[in-house]
Structure 1
Amino acid sequence: MSTLPKLRLEHVTKQFSVRGSDETFTALDDVSIDLAAGEFLVLVGPSGCGKSTLLDLLGGLSEPTSGRILLDGRSVSGPGLDRGIVFQQYALLPWRTARANVEFGLEAKGLSKKQGRVLADDYLDLVGLAGFGDRYPHELSGGMKQRVAIARSLAFDPEVLLMDEPFAALDAQTRESLQDELLRIWRETGKTILFITHGIDEAIYLGQRVAVLTSRPGRVKTIVDIDIDRHVEDVRSGEAFRQYRHVIWSLLHSEVERARDLELGAATAGVEHV
C-alpha cells in the first residue's frame, strides 16, 4: 500500500504569452516531483530555468498551464495558510516589531492577541531570537531579519515550507550559520521543506534529495539522493561532499553549455535573416 506524498507536482507545465505576438514562452515543462511528509528537498538549476516560477505555482500565486499540484491529495488552487513562503528579500513590515511581524500570519487564523504573543515569542525563541521581539527590522542584521521571516512562516503551522533562495543575500558566514539553524529547526518541527537555491554546496548540505532542473524550459533532469554525515566537523571538505559537488556541478554545467549553444544558434539565425 503506497503512502500518499505530502506534496506532488504532477506533469506541471507553465507557459506565458509573448506580448505583441501569438507565440507562447514555456518556463516549465512536464515537471513531476513527489515530496514525502517531513522531507527536505532542494531544487537547483541554472539561471532562468523556472525555479521562481515553480515557487509561484506552489504558493498558489499562479496556476499551471497543464498538470496539477497536490497537497495532501488536494489541488492547490490559490494562496493558503497550509503553505508558508520565505523569500530572498525578507518582506518584513518595517512598522512592526519582530514579534508583531510573526503575529501577522496568526491574525489570519483568528488567534487572540494574548495567544498570538505567546506563540510569536515561542517561534522567535525557536529561531534563536529570544529577547529580540521588540526590535524593529531596521534594528536587526540581515541574518536576524531572515530568522524573523522563518519564524513568521512557521508560526501559523503550515503543512509545507517553501523557501526561495532565502540566504542568497547574506554573507558566507551568516549563510552557513543559518543553514545549520534551518536544519535544526527542520529536525525539531518535522516540517516538509522545499528549498530553492542556485548554490550547489547549499543544496548538498541541506537536502535529503537534490532535484536538478534543466535550462529553460525547466524540466527535472535528475534527482540525486544525498547521504552525508552533517555532524562531522567541516563536512563540506569531506570526500563524499566533494563527490556530490562534482556530480551536481557536471549536471548543471552541461545545462549551462546547452543554453549558451541555443542562444548562439538563435542569435546566428537572427543575423542570417537580416
Structure 2
Amino acid sequence: MTTLSETAVRTKIGIRGVGRTFTVRGEPFTALADIDLDVREGEFLTLVGPSGCGKSTLLDLIAGLAAPSSGEILIDGAPVTGPGLDRGVVFQQYALFPWRSARANVEFGLEAKGVPRRERAGRARHYLDLVGLAGFEDRYPHELSGGMRQRVAIARSLAFDPDVLLMDEPFAALDAQTRESLQGELLDVWRKTGKTIVFITHSIDEAVYLGQRVAVMTSRPGRIKEVVEVSFDSREGDLRADPAFGAYRHHVWSLLRAEVAAAQEQERAS
C-alpha cells in the first residue's frame, strides 16, 4: 500500500493559480479561478464538488486538452502544453471502437506509437488480465457488460504506461454492485502499478473510499475549498463499515453542503 509519507517528497502534478474563462453568448464565463493544488507522485487523489463547478474542466486542463486562461499546470516541473503520453484519460463514456475486439481496442494507442505487433498483443493481454478480463480478449464491446467495457477502457489507458491516470466519473453509469466491484479492482491496479491517479466523482462515498486525499471544490467559479487527508488504520475488509469512514464522509459533506446550495441557486438564476 502506497502511503502519503512515501509520496510527499515529490510533486507529480503542480497546479499554480489556474483559471479558465470561456466566452458564452458574447459574455465571459469563468469556470475556474485561482486553483492551487499539488498531486503527489503515486497518490490517488479524488476530486468532488457541486455540479457545474469545473471539475471536468480542470481534468481537461491537466490532460492538455485545453489551456488555462491564467496560471499554469506542471507535470514533473514541466509546463503542460498539450496532450502527452505521460497522461492517460478515462471518461464516463467508454468510447470503444465497436468493430474492434477488447484486445484490439487496447492495442489501438500502441499502434499509433508504432509498437510492434507481437509486443502490442502481449501488452494488451497483460493489462486486460490486470483489470480482470483474462479470457475476454476476443470479445467485442457489444458482447461485454458495462463494467467490462469500462475495464477495457482502463486497460487501454494503462497499456501505453502513462505516469498519470486521469479519470472523469468513470463508474457513474454503472449499477451499484458493479461500481463497488470496480472501485476495489481500481485500487488493486493502483497498488500494483504505482500510478498517480486523479479521479473525479459526484459520490462522497466513492471519493472517501478511493482517495488518499479528497480535494473539495467550491461552486462556480471553482476553487479548492479544502483538501481532506483520508487515513484508515487498515484498508483491509469493508472500509464502509469503519467508523472513520462515516466521519470522513460527514466532514466532506459539511464542506460541500453550502457549495451545493450555491450551485443550485446559480442554476435557478441562469
Deviation at 1:259, TM superposition (A): 3.0
Partner of 1:13: 19
**Deviations 1:54-98, CA, capped at 9 Å, x for gaps:** 111111111000010111111111111111000001111111000
Query: Greater shift after overlay, 252-261 or 72-81?
Result: 252-261
Among 243, 246, 251, the residue aligned to 1:242: 246
- For normalisation by structure 1, the TM-score amounts to 0.92
* Residue 30 (str. 1) matches residue 34 (str. 2): yes
State which structure, 1 or 2, has the greater radius of gyration over its C-alpha atoms: 1
- SS of residue in 1 equivalent to 2:150: helix
Contact 1:214 1:220 in 2 (8 A): yes
Deviation at 1:262, TM superposition (A): 5.0
Q: Which of structure 1's runs of 4+ aligned residues deviate more than 4 A? A: 261-264
Deviation at 1:260, TM superposition (A): 3.7
- SS of residue in 2 equivalent to 1:48: coil
When residues 260 and 124 of structure 1 are mapped into structure 2, their CA distance, relative to the original with a 3 A threshold, is closer
Partner of 1:157: 161
Deviation at 1:238, TM superposition (A): 2.0
Q: Distance in 1 between matches of 2:267 and 2:105?
A: 44
* Residue 68 (str. 1) matches residue 72 (str. 2): yes
Query: Greater shift after overlay, 218-227 or 29-38?
Result: 29-38
* Residue 207 (str. 1) matches residue 211 (str. 2): yes
Given residue 260 of structure 2, which amino acid in structure 1 is its aligned partner? V
- SS of residue in 2 equivalent to 1:193: strand
When residues 254 and 116 of structure 1 are mapped into structure 2, their CA distance, relative to the original with a 3 A threshold, is same
Q: Which runs of 5+ in 2 are unaligned?
A: 1-7
* Residue 113 (str. 1) matches residue 117 (str. 2): yes
Contact 1:212 1:222 in 2 (8 A): yes
- For normalisation by structure 2, the TM-score amounts to 0.94
Q: Which runs of 5+ in 1 are unaligned?
A: 268-274
Given residue 22 of structure 2, which amino acid in structure 1 is its aligned partner? F
- SS of residue in 1 equivalent to 2:227: strand
Given residue 145 of structure 2, which amino acid in structure 1 is its aligned partner? S
**Deviations 1:1-38, CA, capped at 9 Å, x for gaps:** x944111111110000122x3x3110001111111110
Given residue 54 of structure 2, which amino acid in structure 1 is its aligned partner? G
Partner of 2:82: 78
* Residue 177 (str. 1) matches residue 181 (str. 2): yes
Deviation at 1:239, TM superposition (A): 1.1
Partner of 1:88: 92
Q: Aligned pair count?
A: 263
When residues 262 and 108 of structure 1 are mapped into structure 2, their CA distance, relative to the original with a 3 A threshold, is closer
- SS of residue in 1 equivalent to 2:11: coil
Identity of aligned residues (%): 67
Given residue 12 of structure 1, which amino acid in structure 2 is its aligned partner? V
**Deviations 1:164-222, CA, capped at 9 Å, x for gaps:** 00000000000000000000000000000000001000000000000000011100000
Q: Distance in 1 between matches of 2:172 and 2:89?
A: 15
RMSD: 1.5
When residues 100 and 230 of structure 1 are mapped into structure 2, their CA distance, relative to the original with a 3 A threshold, is farther
Q: Distance in 1 between matches of 2:205 and 2:266?
A: 27
Given residue 106 of structure 2, which amino acid in structure 1 is its aligned partner? V
Contact 1:97 1:133 in 2 (8 A): yes
